[in-house]
Every structure is written in structure tokens, then in C-alpha cells.
Amino acid sequence: MAIHGLGQLDKTYDGSKLRIGILHARWNKEIIDSLVKGAHDKLLEFGVKEENIIIESVPGSFELPFGTKKFSEKWDKQGKPLDAVIPIGVLIKGSTMHFEYICDSVSQKIMDLSFELGKPIIFGVLTCLTDEQARQRAGLGGHNHGADWGLAAIEMATKFDL
């Protein structure tokens, strides 16, 4: 059992029929790229087809909640709904209160979105005090949390016969 990270799944999940969206912010790009790759590769490992992993971006983490809503609704309208969305962002504390406000509001709104949209919206936002903490959590020296978010999306999109 991993101390940090999801560790073992409760059973094996088949992602072959799923369509999963990844919506990432572009701030802190090196870290974002690694998290997106971690999630993407884990989705492939669990059978999600490459063409059913839809990746889109927004400027920063603040844009993730609204972007996720619009991203999901766009595919609903086209008759090719996403079964889950993984919003990915990296917030790093600076010298103002910006970090505190954004962390709180973005986290709360991402949680609300699952209920609003009726589908799993995974919490793929790192809220770190330093660049080094973010790198460690993005597979750049430590465990890649993006992989856990990919697994969480597959489990949540499969488990409750949504």
C-alpha cells in the first residue's frame, strides 16, 4: 500500500468504453505537462482508447471550473458525452493572498460541478507552497498524482453505472 497516492484499486476496471476529458491550466507548464502525461498514460493503461481521451486547456486554474462546465456541455451537445473530466491545475503560493482565494474557490467549485453536471469531476489541482513541492507531486522527483487522477476518473465513471 502506498503511503502517498492511491495505492491499489479495489478491483480491476475496464476503461475501454469510456470517454474522458482532461482540461488543464497552462500556468506552471513543466509541472502541468507531467501531470497531464501521468493521467493520460494511466487512462491508456486501463483501456481507454487514445481517441477517447480529449485534452483541452484554459489559461489558469481560476478558469478551470467554468472551463470544465463548458467543456463537458460542449460534448453533451455533440452527442458524445464525456464520462468524467479531470481538471488539472498547479497553484503555487506567492507573496500575496491570491493563492488562498483561488485555492478555496476553485476547490469548492470543482466539487460542486460533479453534482451540477451529474458526472465525476476529479480534483486534479495541486496547491503547493513551493515549486519543489509541486515537482515532487508531479512525478518530477516523486510520485505522479496525475496517474491517481486518471485511475479515480475510471473508477468513478464505472462504479455506479452512471
**Which CB sits closer to ligand RBF, 25 or 152?**
25
- The answer to whether 155 contacts ligand RBF (rule: CB under 6 A) is no
Give the residue numbers annotated as catalytic, written as ranges.
98
Of 42-101, which residues contact ligand RBF (CB under 6 A)? 59-63, 89-92, 94, 96, 98
One-letter amino acid of 126 = L
User: What DSSP string describes 29-93?
Assistant: HHHHHHHHHHHHHHHHHTT--GGGEEEEEESSGGGHHHHHHHHHHHHHHTT---SEEEEEEEEE-
The CB-of-14 to ligand RBF minimum distance in angstroms stands at 33
The residue number with the shortest CB distance to ligand RBF is: 60
**Which CB sits closer to ligand RBF, 36 or 154?**
36
| Among the listed residues 27, 75, 103, 133, the single contact to ligand RBF using CB under 6 A | 27
Number of residues that bind ligand RBF (CB under 6 A): 16
**Alpha-carbon gap, residue 88 to 56, rounded angstroms:** 10
**R_g of the chain computed on alpha carbons:** 15
**Which CB sits closer to ligand RBF, 52 or 127?**
127
Bridge partner residues of 125 (DSSP): 89
**Which CB sits closer to ligand RBF, 63 or 83?**
63
- Asked if 70 and 63 touch (Cβ cutoff 8 Å), the reply is no
> Euclidean distance between the first and final Cα of the chain, in Å?
28
Of 98-117, which residues contact ligand RBF (CB under 6 A)? 98, 102
The CB-of-92 to ligand RBF minimum distance in angstroms stands at 4
- Asked if 134 and 126 touch (Cβ cutoff 8 Å), the reply is yes
By the criterion CB under 6 A, which residues form the site for ligand RBF?
25, 27-28, 59-63, 89-92, 94, 96, 98, 102
